[in-house]
Amino acid sequence: MRIYQLDAFTDHLFSGNPAAVVPLTEWLPDEQMQRIAAENNLAETAFYVKTEGEANYHIRWFTPTLEVDLCGHATLATGYVVFFLEQKPETDHIYFSSRSGPLKVCRSEDGWLTLDFPIDVVHKANLQPPALLASLNEKPLAVYKGKTDYMLIYESQAQIAALEPDFREMSTVPARGVIVTAPGDANSGIDFVSRFFGPQSGIDEDPVTGSAHTTLVPYWSEQLGKTDLTALQLSKRGGYLRCKLNEARVDISGQVQLYLTGEIL
């Protein structure tokens, strides 16, 4: 059984978000896929199976502790595996069926891959779990709640970089994770910055979170009055994304670097 490890949303190794990808001809038992993900001990391991048609696949994602509904960086990494390492289709787009519905991945001539994901609809969270604000060392300007995550708005990029969460406290917040975000620094070429904390899902801080941008992009598009956005995730590894709001969908583009190939015995 082949396995790949790749760094997503980066133009060089040892940055971006690492993900494992396991191509399958048929699904393994859920328990076995969960054990493989736990052994990899990465934010996500993606498993995929080829289905009918040249460009059709089914994808699932596992953290070290549970299966999740959506994962952007592992989908980007899986797209790279399909396009350049495994099936190598002639088409410039492929489709994945998933627990979050159909997902499209496109490749461009410059080597960038683009995810086509549904937007996340958020609402202002007037009532917040006490642990949410107690877990952070600085109070946000506003708090929103999406389908799976809380999103906290701050004033500056420096505030986002300086946050030091209490992950034990945050792990009691009833959500997949917590997004913190602010505008990018003036004249930096970055529209907004973010970090993603997910102790509830077994990952204290995710290096680059593609799925969180389904929440971030609609918000910042409205705030900034533009549909094409550049984003920087301020984790230690860091990651750069190009995003575009297309009505009820979000295009999330990034680069992928292959780190290793191996075999599960």
C-alpha to C-alpha distance for 96 and 117, rounded to whole angstroms: 11
Select which of 26, 31, 39, 44 is catalytic: 44
User: Contact 263/2 with Cβ under 8 angstroms?
Assistant: yes
Q: Is 167 helix (H, G, I), strand (E, B) or coil?
A: helix
pLDDT in tens, 215-265: 999 999 999 999 999 999 999 999 999 999 999 999 999 999 999 999 999
CA distance from start to end of the chain: 7
pTM of the model: 0.90
2-118+252-263 is a CATH 3.10.310.10 domain? yes
Whether 44 sits among the annotated catalytic residues: the reply is: yes
Mind listing the pLDDT tens digit for each residue in 122-138? 999 988 999 999 999 99
The strand pairing partners of 104, in sequence order, are 95, 116
- Which residue ranges make up each domain of the chain? 2-118+252-263, 123-247
Q: Is 234 exposed, middle or buried (0-12, 13-18, 19+ CB in 10 A)?
A: buried
Fold of domain 123-247:
Diaminopimelate Epimerase; Chain A, domain 1 (3.10.310)
d(CA 126, CA 128) in angstroms, rounded, equals: 6
Q: What pLDDT score does 203 carry? A: 87
Q: Which pLDDT score, from 0 to 100, does residue 53 have?
A: 79
Neighbours of 2 (CB within 10 A): 14
pLDDT of residue 54 exceeding 80: no
Q: Do domains 2-118+252-263 and 123-247 have the same CATH topology?
A: yes
Average pLDDT over residues 175-200: 96
Distance CA 126, CA 192 (A): 23
What percentage of the chain has pLDDT greater than the value 70? 100
DSSP for 44-79 reads -EEEEEE-SSTTEEEEEEE-SS-EES--HHHHHHHH
